[in-house]
Structure 1
Amino acid sequence: MPAGKAKRALQVAQAIVSDIQLNAREAGDRLPQEEDMLARYEVARATLREALRFLELQGVIQLQLGRGGGPVVSRPQTRDFASSLSLILQFMDTDLRALLELREAIAPDMAAKAAARATNADLAALSDCYAQLERDRETAGFEETNRRFHDLLGWASGNPTFGLLTSALHLLTRDLAMELGYSAQERAGQLRCLARVLNAVRLRDADGARRHMERLVKGSSEYLAARSPELVTQKVRWGDPG
């Protein structure tokens, strides 16, 4: 598609998103029929379809086939963001070490925000997840439950960008980290640190939550780098995260 038409398709996609929000459309709602959309946005059929394909790739809509099909509103998920991010990071020649450094930078503040803002529902979810983590300490499920605890903590921060970025980072590093795993000693150490983080969050102790999380993520990064130096130099590759 020529550059001018591609730009117009992007503008139409942006207009469709604005209309979805303006009309308070929810996931599962159908958008207008194609003929109505052509009149609404005053574009050629090819341009409209290009705009809809772009939105589908971004997770904003699903294009259903067959009688009664057409564009149906969806909601972009963390996986959609992680996929776009991994594509950019591949061209930036980013490795796992860079993602670990990013986690070290944001995780302590994320924990502090959670201590200040976590709701009762957040605290209950974190407590349940920690209890599951203790049960998983000697099983293959430990790493996945561990990631889920950090995801819950990110969303408990009250800042959706913390939750989104934390969950996306876990999707990007999941396969790489699972190649290595944690030793029994490292698992025990992480459990102790997470117990302190959780207790600080319960007590609304932001400084304590920040301090314990900083110790945890720094120690985890050092452990991974020492145990498998070649792992942390692996490059991020675009694909289907997780």
Structure 2
Amino acid sequence: MKRINLSDKVITALKSDIASGKLKKGTKIPSEPELMERYEVGRSTIREAIKTLAMSGILKVQQGSGTFVASKIKSETLAQRLRRADFEEINAVRSLLEIEIVRLACLNRTDKDISAMQDHLIQRKKAIETDQQQKCTDADIAFHVSIAKASKNKVLVDLYQNFTSVIRDFFTKRKEENMTYFARSHKWHEELALAIINRNQESAVQLIKTLLNNNY
């Protein structure tokens, strides 16, 4: 098991170098001794990693000449990285983002932001009352995105919007329970919007923590 994990480490590092352009298509990769020294692993681990990448068509082994990069690798997007991340890691990072977002939203929200939040809450409530799960999911995510936009921090908005795909996947996986959760949490969402309107950071942070702790 240890050798397999080390091999995966080498595979990830080589793929990263290829994706970044450090190792270009057609170029020869470092020799086995160089790779062994660079990654502090044994020869068998290097050979296993090269064999795996060769089988997938990323590398090409030419007897007597060495091993060459056979194909390009597209850089992994943040959204793709998030989709394969551990749920606990996702939740931890999302928590940090959400807390900072609501703090900034309390400081920087405008009348236009307030109007957007309230509109999404109305749509969310209507979807709950008419038992329309997809519309409720869309309104819920749109509400939280509107809070991110109210923060006036474009980097936070971009990061949060990447998280929305993961949040949507989470809602899809527990779809049988969603409407119950949506209905139960609606009051908290309304109170969160009110706290932001009133610029009450302490209350807003506490409410977002409550939502996160209950997986909303």
| TM-score category, normalised to shorter length | 0.5 to 0.7
- 1:155 partnered with 2:149: yes
Corresponding residue for 2:139? 145
CA 1:173–1:127: 2 relative to 1, 3 Å: closer
Partner amino acid for 1:112?
A: R
TM-score, normalisation: structure 2: 0.59
Matched ranges for 1:162-201 at <5 A: 162-181=156-175, 182-201=177-196
Partner amino acid for 1:153?
A: I
- 3-state SS of paired residue (1:136): helix
Q: Give the Cα separation in 1 of the matches to 2:81 and 2:211.
A: 28
Matched ranges for 1:92-111 at <5 A: 94-111=85-102
Q: CA deviation at 1:88?
A: 4.3
Corresponding residue for 2:116? 125
Q: CA deviation at 1:186?
A: 1.7
Q: 2:78 aligns with which of 53, 66, 85?
A: 85
Q: CA deviation at 1:172?
A: 3.2
Give ranges in structure 2 of 5+ residues lacking alignment: 1-17, 23-73
Partner amino acid for 2:199?
A: R
Identity of aligned residues (%): 17
User: Runs in 1 of length 4+ with deviation above 3 angstroms?
Assistant: 86-90, 182-185
CA 1:115–1:84: 2 relative to 1, 3 Å: same
Give ranges in structure 1 of 5+ residues lacking alignment: 8-56, 59-82, 222-242
Q: Give the Cα separation in 2 of the matches to 1:197 and 1:87.
A: 30
CA deviations on 1:184-235 (whole Å, 9 max, x unpaired) are 43212221111110000111111111111111111116xxxxxxxxxxxxxx
- 1:219 partnered with 2:192: no
CA 1:177–1:97: 2 relative to 1, 3 Å: farther
Q: Give the Cα separation in 2 of the matches to 1:88 and 1:175.
A: 14
Check conservation: 1:108, 1:210, Cα contact below 8 A: yes
CA 1:183–1:87: 2 relative to 1, 3 Å: closer
Structure with greater contact order relative to length (CA < 8 Å, sep ≥ 6): 1
CA deviations on 1:134-155 (whole Å, 9 max, x unpaired) are 1011212111210111111111
Q: Give the Cα separation in 2 of the matches to 1:175 and 1:205.
A: 31
Matched ranges for 1:49-88 at <5 A: 84-88=77-81
Check conservation: 2:82, 2:163, Cα contact below 8 A: no
- 1:203 partnered with 2:198: yes
CA deviations on 1:81-103 (whole Å, 9 max, x unpaired) are xx61144457xx62233212211
CA deviations on 1:112-169 (whole Å, 9 max, x unpaired) are 2111111111111111111111101121211121011111111111111221111110
Question: What is the root-mean-square deviation of aligned Cα atoms in Å?
Answer: 2.9
TM-score, normalisation: structure 1: 0.53
Compare CA radii of gyration and give the structure with the larger one. 2
